[in-house]
Amino acid sequence: MCGIWCVVSLTTTHNPLDTHVHENLKHRGPSSSHDIIETISNCSLLFSAHVLHMRGSLTPQPLRDENGNMLLWNGEVFGGLSVDQGENDTKVVLHHLSMAQCTSDMLSLLSQLKGPWAFIYYQKVERCIWFGRDFFGRRSLLWKFDPEGTSFTLSSVASMPVDNIQSQWQEVPPSGVYRFDLTDSSALGNFVFLFALELFL
């Protein structure tokens, strides 16, 4: 299993990685670890991926295409997309995601995937982040909102609550995929999501 992490901050200064979460992520992906920071007009995006190499050639993540789209993938494709022997499924999934022209294309692609998966996909030209996990929730993906409403975090692992304070981490419901529109985020922390129920109908 790989470790994936994304922090969206409504400032141009990114939030530092939680040390405990970062260490837990590295344990899940000992083969390769990389962090990437992106800054757009009113947001800072921090992507961190830690790969456990199991199939095809070792492919470091976050994996970026020539258009700046970025995929963090924790899963295995058993069907729905053609993955040749020796080919890496992360590369195949990113290739197909990059060809999607609209929301229905994205949902059609994701609905075809057979196997356990969780993903975070930064679609640069649309300035949005897609994320979710398979219908059975076989790969972990958690989310957390900053109490002040200035940041939003996705992670495949969490840290233990401090001083018995209830954890702010919650599981991302596996009943669909989500689209976080960065262009509609305001300085007041107005996160806008599109819940794509069509994926599993």
Phi and psi based region of residue 86 (left: phi greater than 0; alpha: psi -120 to 50; beta: remaining): left
Pairing of β 3-9 and β 43-51: antiparallel
**Gap between the Cα atoms of 129 and 120, Å rounded:** 7
Report residue 155 as tokens: 């992670």
Report which DSSP code applies to 161. Answer: P
**Gap between the Cα atoms of 127 and 184, Å rounded:** 10
Q: Which residues of 93-131 are buried (b: 16+ CB within 10 A; e: fewer)?
A: bbebbbebeeeeebbebbeebebbbbbbbbbbebbbbbb
Report residue 95 as tokens: 């290739």
128 is catalytic: no
Catalytic residues: 2
